[in-house]
Structure 1
Amino acid sequence: MCGINGIVVRQLSNMDERLKEMNNRLSHRGPDDEGTWNDGMAYLGQRRLSIIDLSSAGHQPMVSACGRYVMVFNGEVYNYLQLRPQFNYPYVSHTDSEVVLAAWSQMGEKCVDLFKGMFAIAMWDKQTQVLTLVRDRMGVKPLYYTCQTQGLAFSSEIRALMASGLSGKEMAQEALVDYLRYQTVQTPRTILKDVMMLEPGHLLRYHAVSGQMEMACYWDLFEKTSLIQPASYSEVKETVRRLFFEAVEKRLVADVPFGAFLSGGIDSSAVVGAMAKVSSHRVRTFNISFAEGDFSEAKYARHIANLHGTEHTEINLSPQQFLEYLPQALAAMDHPSGDGPNTWVVSKVTKEAGITMALSGLGGDELFAGYAIFNRMASLEKKKGLWQLPLGGRKMAADALTALKPGVASMKIEQLLKMPRYEFERAYAVSRQALMDEQLLAILNVSPLPSHTPVDYLMKRKRDLSKSLITRVSQAEMTTYMQNVLLRDSDQMSMAHALEVRVPFMDHDLIEYVLSLPDQYKYPITPKKLLVDSLPDLLPNYIVNRPKMGFVFPWRDWLKGELFDFADARIKNISQRPYFNEKGVMDLWRRFVKGDASVTYSRIWPLVVLEEWMEKNGVG
């Protein structure tokens, strides 16, 4: 696990200084080693967090034995031990990185199909003078780039990319709308006009001589979900169990102390249970507990820890302590997000306990229909006949509803009823919105708003490939909220402490199988029924039927109390920025403070975060 950087030059000077500064910006990601390499055209840098083969033999940038290829690599290829003997290569280390280099030396970019893991790869071909960037299938590891007339620069983080001198600091108008709608910016865009994010399952080729860039997809979540018809439910459960255990086991390969985040919910309990069964060492688990009973999940985590005999650590944290950590968590944010500080805190205390790698249950909700949106979308599909009624009548009904029962839910129903016709993609996009379009028009000097959102695009490009509603919702969740909020936050907040987080539910073999199943096996009649039925020995009823909590904090009360001055200053500052309407922003803030049901904290907090991020990074 590392941070990687690079610039392929066409018209730039002071390259050594630029690369050094980029590496410095990633020091938190890789405290164990640092390396640079250049041939006068390609400049590659890396900061290393040693996980496999802790010796100096794993130093990067790494040059192939034939001398043709130079690589920087971030992440883990979990099946590297199986791949290693397949290549006749004079290995000098025991790292997965060198296996990647060996495979590329003999197969070229086609070798990427063999890799099972989370990774971002940058490979420079000295012979053809082509740089190839690759990102893993599910987008667990980030990879940003900017391509200008002077050359191309890439990095694991936007802030390091800014140090290259190639990317500007101008915010993109459409990305701003996207962020306020969904508390993030959907790939391939970022909040910055000149910075893009390589899409999951894609590779980019940059031809240094001509300055031309090509994009190719080597794995597509939508294309890998053609419907199958298993012989029986018993067969389905056996296959899910086997694939899940394999996903966990392959992620236990490490030469450093490791553990697991344990909230006591279904997903983390499943991961810990599987770890306990397949690991040769006693599993270490970590849970944040709160003195306030309303927020504490400690008893559930304790139950799972006792069940599997883990070495369990409870980190006692008060909301006040969390608030004290908040400025540091926001300072660690590489890309603005409406979420993230929770992960920063649990990563901090886990790293301080001596752990360098931890497994997480992230992704279980998206894969096994754990969110309320699965049932909401199913309900909308059943009622789509409503959109056969005249538009005028639907608008009248929507206006009456919002007048009678104001609030976020009514605003979403209003926007849905005013759609010209029912479309899954548009309905899903509205269901996932934070600030609604009416609110956006009031606070932004942007009109009209983009009529089709990036969420629409991500869904429509492969809209007919899956007839399964539950699978379509999973695809939507994975390609939007999960990849662009949860995974991005998990990476930037854990790597702020040089902690590697591995996510078994993101195993592409498991994902391909589950998403190919008919709805009858996955419909959430009970919480995550298929996962629970497949792992009955790991998931007792006490855990399955517990209230779903997660990291719950009283953000509404904090923003009106302890965080009021902090938030108020930033709301006032952002209202003065060119894209924003001062009167609209301040009115939204006043309505929140007064308790307006249509302005919840999740509509305000992203504005606070955005202003803090822009000010800290000099973005205008």
Structure 2
Amino acid sequence: MCGFAGIFDGTGERDVDRGLLQRMTDALVHRGPDGSGLFVGPGIGLGHRRLSILDLAGGAQPMTDAETGVTVAFNGEIYNFPALMETLAGLGHRFRTHCDTEVILHGWKQWGPACVERFDGMFAFALWDPREATLFLARDRLGKKPLHYAALADGSCLFGSELKALTCHPALPRVIDPEAVEDFFAYGYVPEPKSIYRAVRKLAPGHRLIWRRGDSPRVEAWWTLPLEARTGGAAELAGRLREAVERRLIADVPLGAFLSGGVDSSAVVAQMAGLTSAPVKTFAIGFGDKAYDETGYARQVAQRYGTDHTERMVDPDAFDLIDGLAALYDEPFGDSSAMPTFQVCALAREKVTVALSGDGGDEVFAGYRRYLWHLREASVRRRLPRALRRGLFGTLGRIYPKADWAPRPLRARTTFQELALDDLDAFFLSVSALPDGERRALLGGDLRGALAAYHPVEVLRPHWQAAAGADPLTQAQYADIKTWLPGDILVKVDRASMANGLEVRAPFLDHHLLEWGVNLPPEVKIAGGEKKAVLKRAMEPFVPRDLLYRPKQGFSMPIGPWFRGPLRQRLREALTGPLLAQSGFVDPARVERLLDEHQSGGRDHSRALWLLLMFQGFLRHDASLGASA
């Protein structure tokens, strides 16, 4: 796994500042501690930081094809590169290394922009073709690897694996996008293709950018999730998962797996154990607070498969990482599980360079509780006229007492509110970090004015419409795969792992497995109220039954108690200080009220307060960039 950065002059008239390119590249040293390289040509510069995984001696980047001068800087893994290498060799191409980077060069020479359609893996790359004076940027189907870019007013383009590479450039405008701010408080992250800065975009998953000098840049989709009804069951799933795991075992460095004690990571470890001769190295972290600890379940799986298991107990009050999250993520990021994710990545890196994870199992096989409720509520909506639903359930949703402390089945107010809405608006409510009323009350007046009629549901709308012909469950999964998965889950894991020099591979996000699994009938994915039913049946021969069918626990931290206890004063000082108050993005009086109600024990505002703390951390980080510019 690696990181890259670059500068492209769309006019071809200016030289690239080599020192600036070096600084942009060095900002990504954590992504590639094993080596670095620069390529500078007329009006083009590519920088690369390398974490060596394959062909340790011969895979240095940027890599240039001696015949054509085509140069590439690449981050990721292409798992089918041996087969592609064989195909290309049959077409007359000659290879000087045995790494996937060179396959990109020859794939471009053979197939042009369509080469990405043949790549099976996780990747983002920048390619320069001097013959066509063309810059080509591409990102994998699901957005496992990040890619940011900015087209500047002078006709040049900056690009890089993380925002921190772009913010090294003194000409980059760091004007905060009001829509991105509301999106953050609505979803807990800034969804693609936006970034927190107006000038910077994220290349969306499954997209490519083609910029030929003299022409305008063109961004286009090269893949989207096909929605085609599939059939299959537990036996086929087990075989497909095994194949996906096997494809991800190629490495020239030590390899292991996360083992949280949940269904997905346990399934991956079980398949790994059957494919490797040596014991699988597994890693888990636990907490003294039993409400947040799953190490006992992880230990069951480790003992069953004789893994080389390492676990570490983390003090649930060890919150020193909070201050570093802003620099780690570069923009506001509100998923508190980023902290334990960072810790398990740090633990794994002590022994391995590559780790397999269970990420994606919930999105592919419908493991989130919101899917079950969405499916049930959609059925009710289809049986009752819209006017009746809005009148009856809308009234009940307004008068029923709020019970955000209660389990979902007891939170009737939320259910009534969702039943009164159409499917899209109800799904938005179910995934919202803060509901509309709470969010708008929190945002500052200036920000509300700048937003005009914008509403964050628009992030979901195009994906919802693209899946309009699917059943309600598949439509919800499709929306999550296009938004929540790349914007939250994959960002969280990429930044946490790369900060520790660790590569993470996710077999459930193998696109062959994903395209098949998402398109299974709803009754196969959720059966009798059991989420991920087909996956659990498939894993019954491999994973203890009490683990498979226990309630989903999640990977989280006790931030509510923190904010009333050890973080009480620190939180108040951060949220009532001048930085947040003077930003104009939030209402200081509302922030004070949330603090008072939460810290008195009257209400649980931990979600809103965490988002505010992360946003304040970003503002502090952004200010530090200005000071160092």
TM-score (norm 2): 0.91
C-alpha contact (below 8 Å) 1:264/1:543 kept by paired residues: yes
Q: What amino acid is the match of 1:4?
A: F
For 1:318 and 1:281, the matched residues in 2 are separated by 32
Partner of 1:345: 343
Q: How does 1:180-579 map to 2 (within 5 A)?
A: 180-210=185-215, 212-221=216-225, 224-228=226-230, 230=231, 235-320=232-317, 322-339=318-335, 340-351=338-349, 353-384=350-381, 385=384, 387-389=386-388, 391=390, 394-402=393-401, 409=411, 412-413=414-415, 416=418, 419=421, 422=422, 424-444=423-443, 445=445, 446-447=448-449, 448=452, 450-451=454-455, 453-466=457-470, 468-525=471-528, 526-572=530-576, 573-579=579-585
Post-superposition shift, 1:265?
0.9
Q: Give the stretch that moved more between structures: 487-496 or 572-581.
A: 572-581
Q: Give the stretch that moved more between structures: 69-78 or 468-477.
A: 468-477
For 2:486 and 2:185, the matched residues in 1 are separated by 17
For 1:386 and 1:593, the matched residues in 2 are separated by 43
Q: What amino acid is the match of 1:89?
A: H
Partner of 2:8: 8
C-alpha contact (below 8 Å) 1:186/1:455 kept by paired residues: yes
Q: What amino acid is the match of 2:386?
A: W
For 1:358 and 1:202, the matched residues in 2 are separated by 26
For 2:68 and 2:221, the matched residues in 1 are separated by 28
Query: C-alpha offsets along residues 314-348 of structure 1, whole Å, 9 cap, x if unaligned?
Result: 1122223x323433444422332112122111111
For 1:268 and 1:39, the matched residues in 2 are separated by 45
With over 3 angstroms needed to count, the CA separation of the structure-2 counterparts of 1:200 and 1:365, relative to structure 1, is: same
For 1:167 and 1:607, the matched residues in 2 are separated by 26
Partner of 2:132: 128
For 1:336 and 1:7, the matched residues in 2 are separated by 25
Q: What amino acid is the match of 2:7?
A: I
User: Equivalent residue of 1:294, what SS?
Assistant: helix
For 1:216 and 1:273, the matched residues in 2 are separated by 39
For 2:140 and 2:328, the matched residues in 1 are separated by 23
With over 3 angstroms needed to count, the CA separation of the structure-2 counterparts of 1:38 and 1:278, relative to structure 1, is: same
Post-superposition shift, 1:121?
1.4
Post-superposition shift, 1:406?
9.7
Q: How does 1:41-52 map to 2 (within 5 A)?
A: 41-52=43-54
Q: Give the stretch that moved more between structures: 247-256 or 186-195.
A: 186-195
For 1:62 and 1:591, the matched residues in 2 are separated by 57
C-alpha contact (below 8 Å) 1:29/1:48 kept by paired residues: yes
Q: What amino acid is the match of 1:345?
A: Q
- Aligned with residue 601 of structure 1, among 578, 591, 606: 606
Post-superposition shift, 1:90?
2.5
With over 3 angstroms needed to count, the CA separation of the structure-2 counterparts of 1:154 and 1:411, relative to structure 1, is: farther
Partner of 2:163: 158
With over 3 angstroms needed to count, the CA separation of the structure-2 counterparts of 1:405 and 1:371, relative to structure 1, is: closer
Partner of 1:147: 151
Post-superposition shift, 1:405?
9.0
For 2:328 and 2:151, the matched residues in 1 are separated by 25
User: Equivalent residue of 2:220, what SS?
Assistant: strand
With over 3 angstroms needed to count, the CA separation of the structure-2 counterparts of 1:330 and 1:8, relative to structure 1, is: closer
Post-superposition shift, 1:295?
2.8
Q: What amino acid is the match of 2:54?
A: I
For 2:301 and 2:375, the matched residues in 1 are separated by 32
C-alpha contact (below 8 Å) 2:288/2:316 kept by paired residues: no
For 2:385 and 2:402, the matched residues in 1 are separated by 20
Post-superposition shift, 1:260?
0.4
With over 3 angstroms needed to count, the CA separation of the structure-2 counterparts of 1:449 and 1:562, relative to structure 1, is: farther
For 1:25 and 1:534, the matched residues in 2 are separated by 44
TM-score (norm 1): 0.93
With over 3 angstroms needed to count, the CA separation of the structure-2 counterparts of 1:504 and 1:8, relative to structure 1, is: same
Q: What amino acid is the match of 2:137?
A: L
User: Equivalent residue of 1:302, what SS?
Assistant: helix
C-alpha contact (below 8 Å) 2:16/2:44 kept by paired residues: no
For 1:267 and 1:100, the matched residues in 2 are separated by 31
Partner of 1:28: 30
Partner of 1:40: 42
C-alpha contact (below 8 Å) 2:258/2:357 kept by paired residues: yes
For 1:115 and 1:439, the matched residues in 2 are separated by 44
Partner of 1:169: 174
Post-superposition shift, 1:74?
0.3
C-alpha contact (below 8 Å) 1:227/1:518 kept by paired residues: yes
Partner of 2:118: 114
Partner of 1:91: 95
Q: What amino acid is the match of 2:305?
A: H
With over 3 angstroms needed to count, the CA separation of the structure-2 counterparts of 1:331 and 1:519, relative to structure 1, is: same
For 2:590 and 2:537, the matched residues in 1 are separated by 50
User: Equivalent residue of 2:553, what SS?
Assistant: coil
Post-superposition shift, 1:98?
0.8
With over 3 angstroms needed to count, the CA separation of the structure-2 counterparts of 1:258 and 1:164, relative to structure 1, is: same
State the superposition RMSD in angstroms: 2.2
Q: Unpaired segments of 5 or more residues in structure 1?
A: none
Query: C-alpha offsets along residues 149-181 of structure 1, whole Å, 9 cap, x if unaligned?
Result: 321111100111111234321110011000001
For 1:358 and 1:294, the matched residues in 2 are separated by 26
Post-superposition shift, 1:403?
7.0
With over 3 angstroms needed to count, the CA separation of the structure-2 counterparts of 1:292 and 1:396, relative to structure 1, is: closer
Q: What amino acid is the match of 2:26?
A: N
User: Equivalent residue of 2:112, what SS?
Assistant: helix
Q: What amino acid is the match of 2:570?
A: F
Q: Give the stretch that moved more between structures: 18-27 or 512-521.
A: 512-521
Q: What amino acid is the match of 2:141?
A: R
For 1:406 and 1:248, the matched residues in 2 are separated by 39
Q: What amino acid is the match of 2:493?
A: S
C-alpha contact (below 8 Å) 1:6/1:155 kept by paired residues: yes
For 1:252 and 1:390, the matched residues in 2 are separated by 51
Q: What amino acid is the match of 1:326?
A: I
For 1:390 and 1:114, the matched residues in 2 are separated by 48
Q: What amino acid is the match of 1:593?
A: Q
For 1:546 and 1:617, the matched residues in 2 are separated by 43
For 1:508 and 1:557, the matched residues in 2 are separated by 40
Query: C-alpha offsets along residues 109-134 of structure 1, whole Å, 9 cap, x if unaligned?
Result: 21211111000011111011111111
For 2:414 and 2:194, the matched residues in 1 are separated by 25
Query: C-alpha offsets along residues 391-420 of structure 1, whole Å, 9 cap, x if unaligned?
Result: 55554333211479999956645754664x
User: Equivalent residue of 2:97, what SS?
Assistant: coil
Post-superposition shift, 1:549?
2.0
For 2:66 and 2:521, the matched residues in 1 are separated by 48
C-alpha contact (below 8 Å) 1:58/1:97 kept by paired residues: yes
With over 3 angstroms needed to count, the CA separation of the structure-2 counterparts of 1:195 and 1:404, relative to structure 1, is: closer
User: Equivalent residue of 1:324, what SS?
Assistant: coil
Q: Give the stretch that moved more between structures: 553-562 or 397-406.
A: 397-406
Q: Give the stretch that moved more between structures: 324-333 or 581-590.
A: 324-333
Q: What amino acid is the match of 2:565?
A: G
For 1:335 and 1:359, the matched residues in 2 are separated by 26
Q: What amino acid is the match of 2:592?
A: M
With over 3 angstroms needed to count, the CA separation of the structure-2 counterparts of 1:581 and 1:98, relative to structure 1, is: same
For 1:523 and 1:464, the matched residues in 2 are separated by 20
1:580 aligns with 2:586: yes
